Amino acid sequence: MIHCEQHTGYAIGKLEVVFKKSAIAAGYEEKNIFFSFSKVFVPSENIFELGYHDDESREKIKSLIAKHHIRTIVAFDLSYPSKIASAVKQAGVENLISYWGASMSGLNSGIKLAFKKIEWLLRRHSAPDFFIFESKAMQLTATKGRGIPKSKTTVIPLGVDTEKYKPTELKRKDYVHKKLNIPSNRKIIFYSGHMEERKGIRVIVKAARYLSETNRLAGIHFVLCGNKGNEADTYIEEIKHSAAINHVTFAGYRDDVPLLMQSSDIGVIASTGWDSFTRSSVEMLASGMPLIASNLGGLAETTMPGKTGSLVPPGDYEALAEEVFDILSDAPLLEYYSEQARSLAMSDFTEERQIERLTRVYLAHL
């Protein structure tokens, strides 16, 4: 069960593929695997339109469960208490698993956390039976935020296609320079993701400006992907009167991100607000890019300081700039970080590893 519209894309689309592959690996025949979305554009006998909240959807899912003898459901971001959870259990579903791609709550302690644990005991009939989180930080928002027993949760990090996201061949090393008309002597600092304020885009452009002001930007260029319409305008304002304006490229929303990553040198994610576990961080690692990331939330779990990159205080553009310059100034260190980044992705963050972990959860709850 997906809480958004069909063909939403982004990370959701990739998760749909992973969910299906893991269900098949757990022994389900493809004809017995069904998907639901809040809105369906291309209906089929295995795809249904269902919401998480309205009475009509609850009655509809009860009939679908009876018709297709459904006993296990994996629901994306299904919280509790949930009327849909109560409905599917009443209809005969034996295993309701909630997969979470975001934080569930702020953290609690003391009496408030004790009350949350009591609430769980009183309302568990309207809750999923098990929760999967993409990071330990996200898991804590359930156990220390909502009082859900840790035994009812697990952590399964995102995985990526490491054949699609991989270090470049030498003949493609200048792809980003040629594609975006960047001087060939510049090292590329890369970001890909949403352009909302909490993602730290302003921190990145301020870091570029700071490097310019300290006369260290000459051989560096920042490439930021993901902007649509006029989303980049507010960030360009930060550097329009600085020489940094010629060292920052907003490359838009595009389909050649794997190739751009392959030919970039360092990945940066400078989030200032909560960040759960970003797919782009794992894609950067798989592409052989050292990662400089904000030390917060699940994002910090994708970086091993001193091995695959570094962590900086959220919002500290000077610290970010210093890390960028220090790594680029030390060729052996850059190479070491790059090798270790790829190695970490191959050991912990492959799509195959994610599917394997999900399959084990499915089998444990059959």
Q: What is the 3-state secondary structure (H, E, C) of 122-168?
A: HHHHHCCCEEEECCHHHHHHHHCCCCCCHHHEEECCCCECCCCCCCC
Q: What is the chain's pLDDT, residue by residue, as a tens digit (366 residues)?
A: 999 898 876 678 888 999 999 999 999 999 999 999 999 998 888 999 998 888 888 899 999 999 999 999 999 999 888 999 999 999 999 999 999 988 888 999 999 999 999 999 999 899 999 999 999 999 999 999 999 999 999 999 999 999 999 997 754 678 999 999 999 999 999 999 989 999 999 999 999 999 999 999 999 999 999 999 999 999 999 999 999 999 999 999 999 999 999 999 999 999 998 777 888 999 999 999 999 999 998 899 999 999 999 999 999 999 999 999 999 999 999 999 999 999 999 999 999 999 999 999 999 887
CA 233 to chain centre: 25
Domains 10-159+351-364 and 170-348 share a fold: yes
Distance CA 263, CA 225 (A): 14
Amino acid type, 362: Y
Instruction: Give residues with Cβ within 8 angstroms of 145, minimum separation 6.
Output: 103, 104, 105, 106, 107, 108, 116
Per-residue model confidence (pLDDT) at position 103:
86
The helix or strand, by DSSP H or E, that contains position 184, with its residue range, turns out to be none
Q: What is the DSSP string of 289-318?
A: --EEEESSGGGGGG--BTTTEEEE-TT-HH
Distance CA 13, CA 120 (A): 31
- 276 close to 268: Cβ distance less than 8 angstroms: no
Distances (CA, A) of 190 to 162, 339, 342: 18, 17, 16
DSSP 167: P
| The domain defined by 10-159+351-364 carries CATH number 3.40.50.10420 | no
Per-residue model confidence (pLDDT) at position 10:
67
- 283 close to 207: Cβ distance less than 8 angstroms: no
- 149 close to 143: Cβ distance less than 8 angstroms: yes
Distance CA 149, CA 254 (A): 42
Distance CA 33, CA 45 (A): 10
Alpha-helical runs (H) found in 125-268: 136-143, 175-180, 201-213, 233-236, 257-262
| The domain defined by 170-348 carries CATH number 3.10.20.90 | no
Per-residue model confidence (pLDDT) at position 43:
86
What's the half-sphere exposure (Cβ side, CA atoms, 13 Å) at 251? 25
Per-residue model confidence (pLDDT) at position 170:
57
- 193 close to 278: Cβ distance less than 8 angstroms: yes
Domain ranges of the chain: 10-159+351-364, 170-348
DSSP 169: P
